[in-house]
């Protein structure tokens, strides 16, 4: 469906709602629900967003310990999702007790007082091991928290546990075959993947175990699971590193690629992402942009080849945004995929050769080598990736990828936004909803609309990977549910450094599109 006329035709033939019925349906609002006087019921506690939870704790409407007990019980009840590698009940309750003691004594509470979060288990935590979801690193205990996490902790957030992930973050399904981790299940359908590699964080948030958490993103690892689990995921600007990098967590995350890796917040609302991003960066909390007059690029190549049920959702969402005043500009990025193919694996399968040993040294890990880690990998797809890394299969192409092709990719994006005067670009985060878990391969083959089998990994990162390689910011937010009840995401990508503006646009889009219903668990 390469242009708007084709997408409008799809709407007509699929029995989509008319513009007037869309505007009058009441589906577009996302106003915060009003709650009765305390105490909040268990069901009400589970539906609290991060902003609402912090407000309830700070105002005294619910003690931090009461809220924490509710979420711990939720985590225990939903162990079968494999969303968490470890649940730190004692540590979380002690931290909640400190928050309550501060409030009871009249002390000023920090900005995120009592907010429970999960942290992907490749992000360094001093209170808990950081395993990367792999056997060789199970005993790694960092001395310091990752800087982005430390900012949240300093503001009063509480780590309830470490979340599961695709082994070593080298995959898009979170089907981790390491015995102590296991395959993460999608809360909307336990037989399906949650996306990856930050699948545990996404599943925990969607399942109402926590309202927010941290993932990481190299080629789509926070945005893909956000899309498949009906939540919001942000990949902040990375650029060429240094001052262009929005979050600074060097050597504080089990790495894939220092050029591409970043920590990214995940939550059930864009407002929560805005709050977490503000705490991490020290910037003001973003406020919603005005919809009318926004110029949003719609690149045809990102909208082609979609699953039909997913297409119905994203095309209706685009129509609702257009009715709200957004100006969509049909313009593609010629040659993007070929250029991206000259950058992607060349970075991701060469940089670990130096980056993983550098991380181990900086974290104080001794007696473990890159070869040791590779030898103990349990997931077949990740084993294949490490075979390529140890053979340095892409080493000969690395310099050209970094110094020639990546700058061209970055220039293509910069020219796209500038030439067409675009605030951002919009596209389906993934071209498929969640697919069945493949325990044999970890990440095998999938079919789109009954077509030939294609690579699962490449299919799910097709739309997220190019922006990752260019280092620009991207945010996935819910677009709705398929006819089969599976979440679908829409992604906004923006120019390098436009993170605050991108969040502001996403806030406005969320006001039109709303969220998705909670899974039936």
pLDDT at residue number 14: 45
The count of structural domains within the chain is: 1
pLDDT single digits (tens) 6-41: 555 544 444 433 333 322 333 333 445 444 455 899
pLDDT at residue number 39: 81
User: Does the pLDDT of residue 84 top 80, yes or no?
Assistant: yes
In 3D, which of 140, 127, 86 has the Cα closest to residue 254?
Answer: 140
Residue 181's DSSP bridge partners are: none
Per the domain annotation, does 26 fall within a domain?
no
pLDDT, averaged across the chain: 93
pLDDT above 90: percentage of residues in the chain: 91
Per the domain annotation, does 203 fall within a domain?
yes
Per the domain annotation, does 293 fall within a domain?
yes
pLDDT single digits (tens) 397-407: 999 999 999 99
Per the domain annotation, does 35 fall within a domain?
no
pLDDT at residue number 9: 53
For the segment 47-51, the average pLDDT, to the nearest whole number, is 98
User: Does the pLDDT of residue 451 top 50, yes or no?
Assistant: yes
User: Does the pLDDT of residue 449 top 70, yes or no?
Assistant: yes
Per the domain annotation, does 18 fall within a domain?
no
Residue-range definition of the domain harbouring residue 393:
4-12+41-513
Say what angle helices 64-77 and 50-59 make with each other, to 10 degrees: 140
The per-residue DSSP string of 307-337 comes to -HHHHHHHHHHHHHHHHTT-EEEE---TTHH
Active site residues: 120, 197, 221
Per the domain annotation, does 464 fall within a domain?
yes
Segment among 16-20, 273-277, 308-312, 363-367 with least mean pLDDT: 16-20
For the segment 126-132, the average pLDDT, to the nearest whole number, is 98
pLDDT single digits (tens) 324-360: 999 999 999 999 999 999 999 999 999 999 999 999 9
pLDDT single digits (tens) 490-510: 999 999 999 999 999 999 999
pLDDT at residue number 379: 97
- CATH number of the domain within which 109 lies: 3.90.1300.10
Per the domain annotation, does 118 fall within a domain?
yes
Contact at 8 Å (CB) between 40 and 56?
yes
**Rounded distance, CA 405 to CA 413, Å?**
13
> Where does 185-304 show beta strands of DSSP type E?
212-217, 232-235, 262-267, 295-298
For the segment 150-154, the average pLDDT, to the nearest whole number, is 98
Which distant-in-sequence residues (6+ apart) come within 8 Å of 302 by Cβ? Answer: 425, 427, 428, 463
pLDDT at residue number 3: 61
In 3D, which of 220, 228, 200 has the Cα closest to residue 117?
Answer: 200
Please tell me the pTM assigned to this model. 0.93
In 3D, which of 72, 79, 112, 110 has the Cα closest to residue 94?
Answer: 72
163, two tokens: 């979340």
Per the domain annotation, does 391 fall within a domain?
yes
431, two tokens: 């071209």
pLDDT at residue number 291: 96
For the segment 296-325, the average pLDDT, to the nearest whole number, is 98
pLDDT single digits (tens) 458-498: 999 999 999 999 999 999 999 999 999 999 999 999 999 99
For the segment 219-242, the average pLDDT, to the nearest whole number, is 98
């Amino acid at each position: 469906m390469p242009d708007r006329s084709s997408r409008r035709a799809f709407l007509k033939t699929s029995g989509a709602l008319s513009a007037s019925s869309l505007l009058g349906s009441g589906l577009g609002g996302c106003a915060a629900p009003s709650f009765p006087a305390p105490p909040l019921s268990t069901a009400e506690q589970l539906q609290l967003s991060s902003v609402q939870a912090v407000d309830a704790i700070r105002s005294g409407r619910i003690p931090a310990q009461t809220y924490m007990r509710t979420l711990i019980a939720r985590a225990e009840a939903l162990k079968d999702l494999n969303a968490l590698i470890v649940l730190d009940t004692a540590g979380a309750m002690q931290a909640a007790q400190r928050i309550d003691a501060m409030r009871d004594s009249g002390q000023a509470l920090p900005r995120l007082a009592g907010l429970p979060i999960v942290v992907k288990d490749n992000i360094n935590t001093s209170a808990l091991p950081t395993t990367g979801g792999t056997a060789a690193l199970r005993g790694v205990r960092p001395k310091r928290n990752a800087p982005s996490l430390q900012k949240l902790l300093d503001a009063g957030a509480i780590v309830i546990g470490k979340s599961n992930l695709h082994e070593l973050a080298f995959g898009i399904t979170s089907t981790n075959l390491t015995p102590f981790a296991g395959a993460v299940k999608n809360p909307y359908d336990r037989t399906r993947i949650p996306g990856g590699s930050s699948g545990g964080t996404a599943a925990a948030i969607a399942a109402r175990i926590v309202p927010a958490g941290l993932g990481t993103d190299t080629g789509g690892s926070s945005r893909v699971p956000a899309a498949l689990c009906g939540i919001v995921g942000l990949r902040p600007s990375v650029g060429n590193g240094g001052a262009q990098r929005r979050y600074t967590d060097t050597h504080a995350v089990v790495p894939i690629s220092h050029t591409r890796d970043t920590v990214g917040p995940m939550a059930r609302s864009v407002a929560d992402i805005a709050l977490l991003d503000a705490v991490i960066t020290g910037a003001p909390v973003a406020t919603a942009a005005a919809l009318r007059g926004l110029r949003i690029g719609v690149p045809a190549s990102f909208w082609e080849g979609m699953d039909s049920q997913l297409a119905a959702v994203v095309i209706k969402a685009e129509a609702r945004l257009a009715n709200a005043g957004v100006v969509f500009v049909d313009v593609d990025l010629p040659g993007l995929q070929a250029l991206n193919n000259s950058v992607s694996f060349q970075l991701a399968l060469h940089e670990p050769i130096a980056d993983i040993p550098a991380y181990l040294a900086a974290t104080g890990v001794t007696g473990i080598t890159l070869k040791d880690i590779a030898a103990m990998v349990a997931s077949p797809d990740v084993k294949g990736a490490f075979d390529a890394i140890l053979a340095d299969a892409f080493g000969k192409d690395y310099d050209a990828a970094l110094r020639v092709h990546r700058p061209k990719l970055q220039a293509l994006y910069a020219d796209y936004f500038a030439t067409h005067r675009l605030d951002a670009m919009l596209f389906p985060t993934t071209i498929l909803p969640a697919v069945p878990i493949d325990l044999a391969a970890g990440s095998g083959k999938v079919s789109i609309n009954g077509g030939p089998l294609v690579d699962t990994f490449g299919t799910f990162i097709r739309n997220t990977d190019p922006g990752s390689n260019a280092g620009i910011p991207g945010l996935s937010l819910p677009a709705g549910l398929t006819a089969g009840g599976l979440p679908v995401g829409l992604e906004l990508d923006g120019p390098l450094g436009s993170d605050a503006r991108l969040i502001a646009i996403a806030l406005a889009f969320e006001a039109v599109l709303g969220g998705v219903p909670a899974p039936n668990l």
